[in-house]
Amino acid sequence: MSYEEKRDEIAEEVKPIVAHTMPFHKKAPAKVVYITIVFTIIGVLLALFLPTHMFPFSMSPEMHDAVLTFVVFTIAAAPVAALVYAIAAYSLIAWRKKGANNNEEPPEDGAPSHGSGLITSLWIGTSVVLVLFLLVWGMAELSAETAQQSNAIQVNVTGQQWMWTFSYPGTGVTTHNLILPEGRQIDFNVTSMDVTHGFWPVEMGVQIDANPNVIDHIAATTNRLGSFDVRCSQICGLYHAYMQTKGTVVTNAQFATWLASQGASSSSIQSYALSGK
């Protein structure tokens, strides 16, 4: 093909298709709103009913907060997602180029609109409000969780490759399986002997890294009897996957008995179990 032919071909191809006065469906916005509402309802229903089937059994208010946050944020986000999906879906269904295999040539041009200040402002305004809501929610929950309670007891957590050990200060008891009394705020003082580990008592809904030469603090309140998993959430080398153990929440009386069975003196149990009260 000669250069001139090529040039003519380009000139031909870039010719715009004359702007088509595509009729604006007056009902389109209303239809999009309907679709949005339907999608939103689906999202809200999922948010309300799915979490109980997905999350493990909550053992602490902190875990309950995490689940609640999930539900609330999903409900808050549902209309936004629904609106985006509704606009995209409606446009595709209503305004796509019809005619099965006649897709070689482009359709007529769409409406030459460059945007709308009003809609943009509304959109940004709404997202600002939503973000503020998320932020206030998060800050409120965080401050509630970090509040020190009067009945707190201390548990020292040590991560090392690839083991967790837990000790109860003052009692001389160290264990591999975490035992906690019910209805107490537990202050975990977490540290590591080598690399970084992630202390994650799963059903307690909290986690904090175990860093060498540093003591990190995280608190969770036990509000249910039963057992839970302790996992390592930070990759820590060869046996990272095996770095897990069981935790058990028992009654205060059982807890004292257990400490005694591990060789703690009765006075130390007394002062430990009563600490903070």
Partner 1 sequence: MKKFVWAVVTVLVGAVLIAAIGLGFHDQQYSSPYGTEVAKSVGMITVNGKQYQHVVLNLVTEPSAQGTTSNGQIIHPGGNPSWPAYAVTNEYQIPANAVVTVKWSQYDSGGVVNNPYFAKPRGTIGGIERVNGKPVTGVAADNIAHTFTLRGEPGVDPRFFLSVPGPISKLGDNAENNKGGQLVQFSFISGKPGLYVWNCEFPCGLSVGGFGAVMSSYGYMSGHMHVV
Partner 2 sequence: MSTIAPMLLEDTKLEPKAGGFYRHQNFLTGLIVGILSGFIGWVVSLALLQGSNFGSDMVVTVTLTCWVIGFNAGMGTFNAIFRWILGHDQNHEDELYAAGVGQGWKRYWKYCTDHKVVGTQYLVLVMVLFGVGGTLAMMIRTQLLSPNSRFMSPETYNAIVSIHGMIMIIATIIMVSGPFANFIMPIMIGAKDMAFPRLNAMSFWVVVSAVPPILGSFFLGGVPAGWTTYAPLSVQAPPAMDAFAITICTFVISVTVAGINTLVTVLTMRAKGMTMGRLPIFVWGSIIAGGLGLYAMPAFLMAQSALITDRVVGTGFYVAEQGGTGWLYENTFWIMGHPEVYVILIPPVGALIEIASTFARKPVFGYKVMVAGISGIATLSIMVWAHHMFTTGWAPTLADPFMLTTELISIPTGIIFLCMVGTIWRGSIWTRLPMYFLYLFIFNFIIGGITGIYLSDVPADQYFHGNMFVTAHFHYTLLGGGLVGAMGAVCYWFPKVTSRMLNERIGKTAFWVVAIGIQITYMAQFYEGFQGMARRVANYNALFVDANRVSSAGAYILMAGMLIFMYAIIHSWRHGKKASANPWHAKSLEWMTLTPVPLENFLVDPVVTGHPYGYGEPDSKPVAPEMPVPVSANSGGSH
| The entry of partner 2, partner 1, none that residue 165 binds, CB within 5 to 8 Å by partner kind | partner 1
> Is 181 in contact with 251 (CB distance < 8 Å)?
yes
Q: Among all chains, which residue has been given the structure tokens 């549902």?
A: 78
The per-residue DSSP string of 107-159 comes to ----------HHHHHHHHHHHHHHHHHHHHHHHHHHHHHHSPPTT-EEEEEEE
The reply to whether 56 sits near partner 1 by the rule CB under 8 A is no
Restricted to residues 190-219, the positions that interact with partner 1 (CB under 8 A) are 193-195, 212
Selected from 35, 59, 63, 179, the binder of partner 2 by CB under 8 A is 63
| Other residues' Cβ atoms within 10 Å of the Cβ of residue 192 | 24
> Is 199 in contact with 163 (CB distance < 8 Å)?
no
Q: Enter the DSSP assignment of 194.
A: S
Q: Which stretch binds partner 2 (CB under 8 A): 127-135, 164-172, 252-260, 268-276?
A: 127-135
Selected from 84, 91, 239, 267, the binder of partner 1 by CB under 8 A is 239
Restricted to residues 159-188, the positions that interact with partner 2 (CB under 8 A) are none
The reply to whether 29 sits near partner 1 by the rule CB under 8 A is no
Selected from 165, 167, 227, 233, the binder of partner 2 by CB under 8 A is 233
Query: What is the three-class DSSP state of 244?
Result: coil
Q: Which stretch binds partner 1 (CB under 8 A): 57-65, 102-110, 199-207, 233-241?
A: 233-241
Selected from 57, 123, 133, 242, the binder of partner 1 by CB under 8 A is 242
The reply to whether 177 sits near partner 1 by the rule CB under 8 A is yes
Interface mask toward partner 2 for 16-55; x: CB under 8 A: xxxxx-x-x---x----------------------x--xx
Given its phi and psi angles, is residue 184 left (phi above 0), alpha (psi -120 to 50 degrees) or beta?
Answer: beta
Nearest to 201 by CA among 175, 164, 235: 164
Selected from 111, 252, 265, 266, the binder of partner 2 by CB under 8 A is 111
Residue 41: HSE in the Cβ half-sphere, 13 Å Cα cutoff: 5
| Structure-token pair, residue 206 | 């909290």
Q: Which stretch binds partner 1 (CB under 8 A): 29-37, 85-93, 189-197, 250-258?
A: 189-197
Rounded to whole angstroms, how far apart are CA atoms 159 and 141?
Answer: 28
Q: Which stretch binds partner 2 (CB under 8 A): 136-144, 178-186, 251-259, 268-276?
A: 136-144
| Other residues' Cβ atoms within 10 Å of the Cβ of residue 252 | 13
Query: What is the three-class DSSP state of 218?
Result: strand
Which residues in this chain contact partner 1 in the complex, by CB under 8 A?
158, 160-163, 165, 174, 176-177, 193-195, 212, 237-239, 241-242, 244-246
